[in-house]
Amino acid sequence: MIKVAVFSTKPYDQEYFDRFADKGQLQFTYFDSPLNKDTANLATGFEVICVFVNDKVDRETVSQLAELGVRLIALRCAGYNNVDLDAAKEKGIRLVRVPAYSPEAVAEHALALILTLNRKTHKAYNRVREGNFSLNKLMGFNLHRKTVGVIGTGKIGATFCRIMKGMGCKVLAFDLYPSQKLIEEGIQFGSIDEVFQQADIISLHCPLNPDTKHMINRESLSKMKQGIMIINTSRGALINTPDILEGLASKKVGFLGIDVYEQEENLFFKDLSEMIIEDDLILRLISYPNVLITSHQAYFTREAMEEITHTTIDNIREYADGEKLTNEVI
């Protein structure tokens, strides 16, 4: 029996793990708390821990986990920028992830952000509920024939490219390794500067690493069209928040739709409706009428949750059975 500590657990996480886990092989214990250096002691007695995007698995946390006997970190997400890989390798802790889960879920949410920002359906909904049937200030634009820039054409980015191509858009993508299959499907590839300069809408679908951190900044914004729409359903730190606020204030950025935020670990997945939010940057973002923020829900579909749960369980089962770890990061 392998004992697994699940951090940052929400009711839906427990529901899906309880539904699909083989209770004869794996025993899950759920913690609401996120994992960090102050909560690592909760992993006492567990050989495996399961973490999510906003758990902080830094060097100090990894050291504590190793002392407690943790031998496997199972990420129930694709990204692993929140884990100190060198520290884990030094301590002999193995790391597995969920490399892909319903790319359609995230790509479709990116489209939802675009359509909502453009056609202002969220504002129209609130107006009509108050008996206001005016169309003033609700005018949008046709997506048809607009140029959509896509940065990153992995599984999610490729799915998004196809969706926007189906909407009648010209899709101009940037990736370090352009996809021949996408090219054959009519997707054009160019340099990142060409994407910045030509796109009417830019959607980010790349991982967060030292090369991509704050790729949307004052310099890159200066290359974009006036009134650019920027969509981010990938990682919050791809955008330099103070710089995007400058862009919004100058009207260089006409629309901003984000499902991720650089400091989201202090906010997202929590109900803060009765609290004072002590984050001036996000409060400024919220104040703009042309900004739409969702709280990391792009992945959140039934299909994606099933895939995440099945893959995470399979990753842990492979470890328990001494098999090759299909989705091992290190």
Which conformational region is residue 251 in: left (phi greater than 0), alpha (psi within -120 to 50 degrees), or beta? left
User: Residue 79 has what pLDDT?
Assistant: 87
Q: Where are the alpha helices (DSSP H) in 120-154?
A: 121-129
Residue 306 is a catalytic residue: no
User: Residue 24 has what pLDDT?
Assistant: 77
CB 148 within 8 A of CB 201: yes
pLDDT band at 117 (very low <50, low <70, confident <90, very high): very high
Quick one: which of 12, 3, 17 has its CA closest to 313? 17
- Give CA–CA dist 208/83, Å, rounded: 12
**pLDDT over 90 (residue 100):** no
Instruction: Please say whether the dihedral angle defined by the alpha carbons of residues 228, 233, 239 and 244, taken in this order, is positive or negative.
Output: positive
Cα distances (angstroms) measured from residue 101 to each of 253, 302, 312, 317: 31, 11, 11, 18
One-letter amino acid at 166 equals G
CB 189 within 8 A of CB 178: yes
Residue 265 is a catalytic residue: no
In the predicted model, what is the mean pLDDT of the chain?
Answer: 96
Show the tokens assigned to 34: 């996120």
- Give CA–CA dist 54/35, Å, rounded: 8
> What three-state secondary structure class fits 159?
helix
**Tens digit of pLDDT for each residue in 142-182?**
999 999 999 999 999 999 999 999 999 999 999 999 999 99
Question: Pick the catalytic residue: 94, 235, 262, 265?
Answer: 235
Residue 264 is a catalytic residue: yes
Rounded CA Rg of the chain: 21
The angle that helices 103-119 and 302-320 make with each other, rounded to 10 degrees, is 150
User: Residue 243 has what pLDDT?
Assistant: 98
- Give CA–CA dist 195/159, Å, rounded: 18
User: Residue 255 has what pLDDT?
Assistant: 98
Show the tokens assigned to 297: 């829900």
**Tens digit of pLDDT for each residue in 235-260?**
999 999 999 999 999 999 999 999 99
Question: Pick the catalytic residue: 76, 94, 214, 296?
Answer: 296
Provide mean pLDDT across the span 124-149.
Answer: 98
Walk me through the domains of the chain, giving residue ranges and CATH numbers.
Answer: 2-101+302-320 (3.40.50.720), 103-293 (3.40.50.720)
For residue 291, the surrounding DSSP H or E stretch is strand 291-293
**Tens digit of pLDDT for each residue in 205-243?**
999 999 999 999 999 999 999 999 999 999 999 999 999
Question: Pick the catalytic residue: 94, 109, 214, 264?
Answer: 264
pLDDT band at 290 (very low <50, low <70, confident <90, very high): very high
Model confidence, pTM = 0.92
**pLDDT over 80 (residue 23):** no
User: Residue 1 has what pLDDT?
Assistant: 87
**pLDDT over 90 (residue 109):** yes
Instruction: Decide: residue 69, CB within 10 A, 0-12 exposed, 13-18 middle, 19+ buried.
Output: exposed
**pLDDT over 80 (residue 330):** no
Provide mean pLDDT across the span 70-91.
Answer: 95
User: Residue 16 has what pLDDT?
Assistant: 96
